[in-house]
Amino acid sequence: MTPQGPPRAVPMAKPLTGRAPLWLRWKTMARVAWGMMFHQKLKLAGTLFGVVFATLLANQQLGTFLGLLYKNQMYVKNAGADVWITAPSVQQLPPGRTISDAALLTARAMPDVEWADGVLIGAATMQLPSGGSEPVTLVGVNATRLKGGPWNIVAGDAGAIAQPDTIIVEDAEREKLGGLNLGSRRELNGHRVTVGGITWGLLPFGPSYAFADYEFARRLLRTDRDQMSAVLIGVKPGADPQAVAAQLKAALPDVFVRTGPEFEESIVNYVLRQTAIGITFGTSTVFALIVGFVIVSLSMLSSVVDNLREFGTLKAIGTTNWDLTKLLFVQSMTYAVIGSVIGLGLVTRVAGGIRSPKLAMLLPPQLVFGSIVVMCVLCVLASSLALLRIRKLEPAMVFR
Amino acid sequence: MSHSLAIDARGVTKTYGDGDLAQLVLKGCDLTVPAGEFMMLVGPSGSGKTTLLSILGCVLRSSDGHVHLFGERISGVRESELPRLRLAYIGFIFQGHNLIASLTAEENVAFQLQMRGWSPGDASREARRLLDRVQLGGKYKRLPAELSGGERQRVAICRAVAGNPPIILADEPTASLDATNGQLVTELLRELAREQGHTVVCVTHDNRIFSLADRIVRIEDGQILGEGAGSHAA
């Protein structure tokens, strides 16, 4: 059956050879992707809710965890020491055991050591005017050099601890300690002390820090004269703390010698491995991500199922599976970026609202950018179900 | 095989399912369509006309037989090659217009042009020209939901002819339209096909538009039964 066609006055249309280059296909599919997303506003809101929820909860959990971690590392981070010497097996502060002052003398004899001071850290009890008592973490430091604290002074002067029987206390605990002010007098471990300064935010995971002159603290803590909690060391300008630590390790085989960053890392490892904090916060973070993943995944799948005819049409009129993969990729990245930015905005407001020395949520830039990256990966993975459905879609369905 | 033939289908067979459940839908159909012809494929429901159209449109593979479009064999090519063939040869018009609901009339047409390699600016200008041609000049930015059924089908015609593909396959293009709009849309399709030199295969059982065909081919029970000249046959 081969009839002759009717005569034509115009040239016949010829097979087309043009095909969109890669960048144009991306652009075209992105336009369709955004069009579809913003056309179904309820579905858009539902999917974004999943991303926002996951970002908010994950960052709230991780931010609180980092805040707690910071509380554990706070002293090491702010002590100003390049190298630390502690008793063996000490993984965090306060150290349970003391070391001999031989370590201090050895450190001071090292050529690359600029300064070395002993520090005492121990539990003390403050008597309250009401008759009760409250624990504090008493820190004894060299009152001349003031390495090892105090810092963040908001009232009085750090040098005040050089005065006899004077301590510096934490602002967040003033009420708890019976309404302390500059000049207040209390009994600490059986000794009369005077408040000579107030810090802000020096509230570790345990009782708040109270600072005193080293000798005074030694008497309050009833520590032997030749014993100390740790030795803080500052190296000379240009000297390598790692090299100094290595020399000290060789000279002092019976104690722990670490650089500041190594000690901070040791504390992180301790918290993660020896306590349930890491598992608790880690689990809730993972759950937040799983919930977000499920919401995004089901929303995107539902969006594809609701628009099967449109996807079938797109396939029929020449888009490839790869083109539709681009479409889903653009959608998932858009969900991830918009959702995580909204979620981060909310969590930042929450963090600002609850910020106090007692509960600090830390949101470092790494966590913020990491969240966006994680959400992008999560949303792209969540689009796989939708992609599988699209790949299986026969373009011939548009004729049914 | 002459390239003046837009479509050359020989012994096209299509079976759905396997074994006892196998259903033979097309039984060795032979069909040739010269370039530039406006042909209507007619037959009752379930006769296999849409299946044949799907095979000619490279959206469905035949179980047996050969199909050539302008001399290029399309049966037996890899699955991944089919989208390229569809872009190169085919413009589709579907029964339910099948426009993308989230794209405006202009964007629906421009999308097809961009997939065929037109730059966004040129695609937009050409889309507007085509929409002007079908009297939708003031409705570039309307979403499909904001257009009437006849207007949507006119946009679908613009999308089908956008970029000037040599073959237009239309599946019951008047099914969802009233008699007046059905006639108008088919006439419009015919005019555009004439102007731009498209070959048109239009599946329909709407006898009100038979008169617009150059040739009418009847299909029944999966077999081509015969043909007749439409009123527009030369």
pLDDT over threshold 60, residue A9: no
Confidence of residue A324 (pLDDT cuts 50, 70, 90): very high
Q: Which of A12, A35, A316 sits opposite B102 (nearest CB)?
A: A35
CB distance from A225 to chain B under 8 Å? no
* Residue of A8, A16, A26 for testing the chain B interface, max B β-carbons within 10 Å: A16
- Asked if B206 and B182 count as a contact pair (C-beta separation under 8 A), the reply is yes
Cβ neighbours of B97 in A, within 8 Å: none
Confidence of residue A165 (pLDDT cuts 50, 70, 90): very high
Q: What is the pLDDT of residue A97?
A: 87
User: What amino acid occupies position B13?
Assistant: T
Averaged confidence pLDDT in chain A = 89
Cβ neighbours of A16 in B, within 8 Å: 87-89, 116, 163-166
Say which range, A6-15, A164-173, A263-272, B46-55, has the weakest mean pLDDT: A6-15
Q: Which of B54, B114, B159 sits opposite A20 (nearest CB)?
A: B114
Query: Are A3 and B34 a contacting pair at CB < 8 A?
Result: yes
B78 burial via Cβ count (<10 Å: 0-12, 13-18, 19+):
exposed
**DSSP category for residue B200:** E
Arithmetic mean of pLDDT, A337-343: 95
Burial of A145-162, coded b for 16+ CB within 10 Å and e otherwise, reads ebbbbbbebebbebbbbe
Query: Are B36 and A12 a contacting pair at CB < 8 A?
Result: yes
Query: Are A317 and B57 a contacting pair at CB < 8 A?
Result: no
3-class SS at A344? helix
CB distance from B228 to chain A under 8 Å? no
pLDDT over threshold 80, residue A106: yes
Q: What is the pLDDT of residue B15?
A: 93
Q: What is the pLDDT of residue B217?
A: 95
For residue B207, what are its two tokens? 């006898």
pLDDT over threshold 70, residue A11: no
Q: What is the pLDDT of residue A281?
A: 85
For residue B146, what are its two tokens? 């904001």
B16 burial via Cβ count (<10 Å: 0-12, 13-18, 19+):
exposed
Q: What is the pLDDT of residue B230?
A: 63
Give the number of beta-carbon pairs within 8 Å between A and B: 166
- Of chain B residues 26-45, which have a CB less than 8 A from chain A? 30-32, 34-37
Q: What percent of chain A clears pLDDT 90, i.e. is strictly above it?
A: 58
Confidence of residue A28 (pLDDT cuts 50, 70, 90): very high
Q: What is the pLDDT of residue B231?
A: 58
pLDDT over threshold 60, residue A198: yes
pLDDT over threshold 60, residue B72: yes
pLDDT (tens digit, 9 = 90+) per residue, B34-51? Answer: 999 999 999 988 899 999
A32: alpha, beta or left? (left if phi > 0; alpha if psi -120 to 50) = alpha
For residue A333, what are its two tokens? 């990245």
pLDDT over threshold 80, residue A360: no
- Of chain A residues 45-104, which have a CB less than 8 A from chain B? none
Cβ neighbours of A17 in B, within 8 Å: 88
Distance from CA of A355 to the nearest CA of B (A): 44
pLDDT over threshold 50, residue B233: no
3-class SS at A201? coil
Domain coordinates in residue numbering, chain A: 24-70+277-399, 88-254
pLDDT over threshold 90, residue A166: yes
pLDDT over threshold 70, residue B1: no
- Asked if A375 and A54 count as a contact pair (C-beta separation under 8 A), the reply is yes
pLDDT (tens digit, 9 = 90+) per residue, A215-269? Answer: 999 999 999 999 999 999 999 999 999 999 999 999 999 999 999 999 999 989 8
Arithmetic mean of pLDDT, B136-157: 93
Q: What is the pLDDT of residue A10?
A: 56
Q: What is the pLDDT of residue A361?
A: 85
Distance from CA of B145 to the nearest CA of A (A): 11
Averaged confidence pLDDT in chain B = 90
Q: What is the pLDDT of residue A12?
A: 67
- Asked if A180 and A174 count as a contact pair (C-beta separation under 8 A), the reply is yes
Arithmetic mean of pLDDT, A104-131: 93
Arithmetic mean of pLDDT, A190-198: 94
3-class SS at B155? helix
Cβ neighbours of A24 in B, within 8 Å: 114, 117, 119-120
Query: Are B36 and A6 a contacting pair at CB < 8 A?
Result: yes
Distance from CA of A394 to the nearest CA of B (A): 8
Confidence of residue B3 (pLDDT cuts 50, 70, 90): low
